[in-house]
């Protein structure tokens, strides 16, 4: 089966580019010095590929569904829910399942309420926490000065406190590397101060845009590096675009062409998808309308296949049920289909 035999729109992965990305990261941050973030790809099959090829066996998640899916698939050696939850019931079920499977689950906490939820869930088995610290992104995380008190409260509630995390999400996507270097320093000074009060051997931070700028933390939480997108491509990182949406030109006029992948096939919060060599005019529910320059290889014809590059990997993947794995080095018919990985961790 070839890529061009599949119905469109089709989410597909260039396996050679993915493996390049796995290898580059594994060389820079081997083993547990990287905690790959599953939110960027939401697939246990891809997580297993990253573990087997890259040698990383500790994962990071954003949702309870992601954690539960990893545990159920035998990928739960050390799973971190790098997010807050108050869902005692599902967290409790998860702890019970993890205990049965010999998996290790850790959850981020930043308040008395999230500690109480974790303590409740821990009646079903061992559950550890990291104190989540606000290092400059106005999202989750406690003020650094509160971290020690929260750690004491968690210990008093019977929870194991493994350390701290602090995600500098306001820094990771900025194309100015010098600025990123400075800001990682600023953020990690805050996390370091919190860690002095909290203790524990886990210090966790970072993302794709800062993976090589962290000296102090034990582990970096990066996920986008695996599949990449055009927003991260602007940073000039050594990772290749590995995720595409294949579409079919369903209408063509003198001045523009229309392909059958629209904003229901792409996360658009980082901008329009890219059609290489063309200008995207606009994207609507099920269509992308694009124009081409004089120098282009010729106007697209109805029935042509086009390759689109997403601007934001995480929400793009979450729109699709599976990603087709393609050997693009065998270009006949758009490349050979070598596998299909379910996006089984989508939804919540």
Cis peptide before 9 (omega within 30 of 0): yes
DSSP string for 269-302: TT---EETTEEEEEEETTEEEEEE-TTSSS---T
Taking residue 185's Cβ as centre, other Cβ atoms within 10 Å add up to: 12
Smallest separation, CB 37 to ligand PLP (Å): 5
Q: In whole angstroms, what is the distance from residue 187 CA to residue 185 CA? A: 6
Smallest separation, CB 105 to ligand PLP (Å): 16
> And the tokens for 96?
């019970």
Instruction: Answer yes or no whether residue 163 interacts with ligand PLP by CB under 6 A.
Output: no
Rounded (10°) angle between helices 147-156 and 112-121: 30
Which one of residues 203, 208, 230, 283 is an interface residue with ligand PLP (CB under 6 A)? 208
Q: Which residue reads 């629209």 in tokens? A: 262
Smallest separation, CB 225 to ligand PLP (Å): 6
217-276 residues in contact with ligand PLP (CB under 6 A) are 221-225
**Closer to ligand PLP by Cβ: residue 167 or 266:** 167
Question: Collapsing DSSP states into helix, strand and coil, what is residue 76?
Answer: coil
Smallest separation, CB 208 to ligand PLP (Å): 4
76-105 residues in contact with ligand PLP (CB under 6 A) are 82
Instruction: Answer yes or no whether residue 40 interacts with ligand PLP by CB under 6 A.
Output: yes
Instruction: Answer yes or no whether residue 151 interacts with ligand PLP by CB under 6 A.
Output: no
DSSP secondary structure letter of residue 266: S
Which one of residues 172, 191, 243, 308 is an interface residue with ligand PLP (CB under 6 A)? 172
Q: In whole angstroms, what is the distance from residue 214 CA to residue 210 CA? A: 7
Smallest separation, CB 204 to ligand PLP (Å): 8
Stretch that binds ligand PLP, among 205-213, 242-250, 282-290, 302-310 (CB under 6 A): 205-213
- Residues that bind ligand PLP in the complex, under the rule CB under 6 A: 37, 40, 62, 82, 167, 169, 172, 207-209, 221-225
């Amino acid at each position: 089966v070839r890529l061009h035999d599949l119905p469109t729109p089709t989410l597909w992965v260039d396996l050679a580019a993915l493996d390049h990305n796995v290898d580059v990261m594994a060389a820079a941050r081997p083993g547990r010095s990287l905690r790959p973030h599953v939110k960027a790809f939401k697939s246990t099959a891809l997580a297993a590929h990253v573990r087997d090829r890259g040698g990383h066996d500790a994962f990071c998640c954003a949702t309870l569904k992601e954690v539960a899916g990893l545990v159920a698939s035998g990928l739960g050696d050390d799973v971190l829910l790098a997010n807050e939850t108050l869902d005692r019931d599902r967290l409790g079920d998860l702890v019970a399942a993890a205990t049965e499977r010999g998996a290790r689950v850790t959850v981020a906490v930043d308040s008395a309420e999230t500690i109480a939820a974790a303590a409740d869930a821990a009646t079903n088995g061992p559950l550890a926490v990291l104190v989540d610290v606000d290092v400059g992104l106005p999202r989750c995380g406690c003020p650094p000065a509160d971290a020690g008190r929260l750690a004491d409260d968690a210990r008093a509630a019977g929870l194991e406190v493994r350390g701290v995390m602090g995600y500098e999400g306001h820094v990771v996507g900025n194309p100015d590397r010098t600025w990123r270097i400075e800001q990682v320093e600023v953020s990690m000074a805050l996390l370091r101060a919190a860690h002095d009060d909290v203790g524990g051997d886990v210090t966790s931070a970072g993302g794709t845009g800062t993976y090589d700028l962290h000296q102090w933390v034990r582990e970096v939480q990066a996920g986008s590096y695996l599949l990449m997108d055009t927003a991260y491509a602007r940073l000039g990182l050594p990772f290749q675009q590995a995720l595409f949406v294949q579409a079919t030109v369903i209408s063509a006029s003198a001045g523009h062409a229309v392909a059958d992948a629209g904003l229901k096939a792409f996360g658009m919060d980082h901008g329009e998808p890219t059609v290489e060599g063309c200008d995207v005019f606009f994207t609507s529910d099920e269509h992308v309308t694009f124009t081409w320059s004089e120098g282009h290889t010729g106007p697209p014809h109805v029935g042509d296949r086009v390759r689109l590059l997403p601007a934001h990997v995480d929400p793009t993947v979450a729109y699709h049920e599976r990603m087709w794995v393609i050997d693009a080095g065998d270009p006949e018919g758009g490349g050979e289909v070598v596998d299909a990985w379910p996006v089984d961790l989508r939804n919540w």
